[in-house]
Amino acid sequence: MTKLTLGPIAYHWSAERRRDFYASIADEAPVDEVYLGEVICSKRAPFQEAELPTIIERLERAGKRVILSSLAEVMLKRERKATEDLATMDSHEIEINNAAGLYARGKQPHRIGPFMNAYNEATIKWMADQGATHVVLPTELPFPAIDAATQAARDLGLGVEVQVFGRASLAVSARCYHARAHGRTKDNCQFVCEDDSDGMPLTTSDDRPILRVNGIQTQSESYVDLMREVTRLTGNGVTHLRLMPQAVDMVAVAQLYRSALDGSLDLPEVEAMLRQICDKTPLSNGFFYGEAGYRRIATASPA
DSSP per-residue codes, 83-124: HHHHHT--SSEEEE-SHHHHHHHTT-SEEEPGGG---SHHHH
3-class DSSP state of 232:
helix
Give the integer Cα–Cα distance in Å for 253 and 2. 17
- Per-residue model confidence (pLDDT) at position 299: 63
* Contacts (Cβ under 8 Å, ≥6 apart) of 285: 224, 225, 226, 228, 229, 295, 296, 297
Digits of tens for pLDDT over the chain (303 positions)? 899 999 999 999 999 999 999 999 999 999 999 999 999 999 998 888 889 999 999 999 999 999 999 999 998 899 999 999 999 988 899 999 999 999 999 999 999 999 999 989 999 999 999 999 999 999 999 999 999 999 999 999 999 999 999 999 999 998 898 888 888 988 888 888 999 999 999 999 999 999 999 999 999 999 999 999 999 999 999 999 999 999 999 999 999 999 999 887 788 888 999 999 999 899 999 999 999 999 999 864 444
Q: Are the beta carbons of 287 and 293 closer than 8 angstroms?
A: yes
How far apart CA 27 and CA 201 sit, in angstroms, is: 32
* Residue of 240, 236, 217, 239 lying closest to 167 (CA atoms): 217
The SS3 call for residue 51 is: coil
Residue pair 47/14 in contact (Cβ under 8 Å)? The answer is: yes
pLDDT of residue 174: 86
Helices (H), 50-197: 52-61, 77-87, 99-105, 121-129, 143-155, 177-181
Q: At what angle do helices 52-61 and 15-28 cross, to 10 degrees?
A: 10
pLDDT for the residue numbered 301: 44
142, 163 contact by CB (below 8 A) = no
What residue type is 263 in one-letter code?
A: G
Which residue type occupies 113? Answer: G
* CB neighbour list of residue 48: distance below 8 Å, 6 or more residues apart: 15, 18, 38
Instruction: Check: pTM over 0.85? Answer yes or no.
Output: yes
